[in-house]
Amino acid sequence: MAKHKITAIPSIRRLPSYLHIIRQSREEGQEYISGTVIAQELHLEPIQVRKDLAITGIVGKPKKGYPVVALMAAIEHFLGWDEIQQAVLIGAGNLGTALAGYQEFHYHGLHICAAFDRDTSKIGTSIHGVPVFSLETLPIQIRNLKATIAILTVPSSNAQEITDILVGAGISAIWNFTNVKLKVPETVVVQKEDLTSGYAMLCVMMNASRHE
């Protein structure tokens, strides 16, 4: 199977912030929310918000806006967040532990069901309630737990070796927090995260505002 070409990446990246605002408005008891209100909250143009929401297939009502419950459902369905995904975490260190404890994933259908580490002092313990297993049991556990996603938080030097094991065990997706550009077959999708690129943006914006 060839990898899907994902279009509208900036729109997809904005949808979770929209969802956050829409969820708040539902908690406040509102039935409808307008694209303009969402845009004001996020300092965006209303036309941008309406275009982004259109990719989910939802249609707003003139003067009223979008029905809140249906809008949340449409975004969650588009993102695939209305289905529970079982995930395994490889590397129960600082970052892995922080991710295991991030409660927000629960709202997005991401369930971290097991962690794996090669450090024997961690095996048999748990991080935020997630049990830590020996790396040797990884392939069998992936199959037993029906895990589709692996969250990779091992040192970069071990990233490819672990990836090869994950691929062999039939994982479908890797959320890669290491610095390595992983080699995977076409059937496996990889999303690489890098906090330093966000920090680079912050620094450049700080410098630009100093020189204004």
Near ligand NAD by CB under 6 A, which window of 13-21, 139-147, 166-174, 175-183? 175-183
Q: How many CB atoms lie within 10 A of CB 139?
A: 15
The nearer residue to ligand NAD, 8 or 98, going by C-beta atoms, is 98
> Using CB under 6 A, which residues numbered 149 to 168 contact ligand NAD?
153-156, 158, 162
Binding mask 20-59 for ligand NAD (x = CB under 6 A): ----------------------------------------
Residue 109 lies near ligand NAD (rule: CB under 6 A):
no
Q: Is 86 or 160 the residue whose CB approaches ligand NAD more closely?
A: 160
Instruction: Examine residue 117 and tell whether it contacts ligand NAD (CB under 6 A).
Output: yes
Instruction: Output the smallest distance, CB 189 to ligand NAD, in A.
Output: 17
- 15: helix, coil or strand? helix
3-state secondary structure of 198: helix
Taking the complex as a whole, the smallest distance from the CB of residue 25 to ligand NAD amounts, in Å, to 31
Q: Which is nearer to ligand NAD, 30 or 179 (CB)?
A: 179
Cα–Cα separations (whole angstroms), residue 198 to 14, 80, 124, 194, 195: 15, 25, 35, 7, 5
CB-hemisphere CA count at 13 Å for 126? 8
Sign of the four-CA dihedral 125, 131, 135, 137: positive
Three-state secondary structure readout of 39-55:
HHHHCCCHHHHHHHHHC
Per-residue binding string, ligand NAD, 62-81, x by CB under 6 A, is --------------------
Across 19-42, b (16+ Cβ under 10 Å) vs e yields: bebbeebeeeeeebbbbebbbebe
Give bridge partners of residue 33 from the DSSP assignment: 66
| Contact flag: residue 126 with ligand NAD (CB under 6 A) | no
Q: Are 68 and 31 in contact (CB under 8 A)?
A: yes
Of positions 41, 55, 145, 193, contacts ligand NAD by CB under 6 A: 193
Binding footprint of ligand NAD on the chain (CB under 6 A): 90-96, 116-119, 122, 135, 153-156, 158, 162, 177-179, 193-195
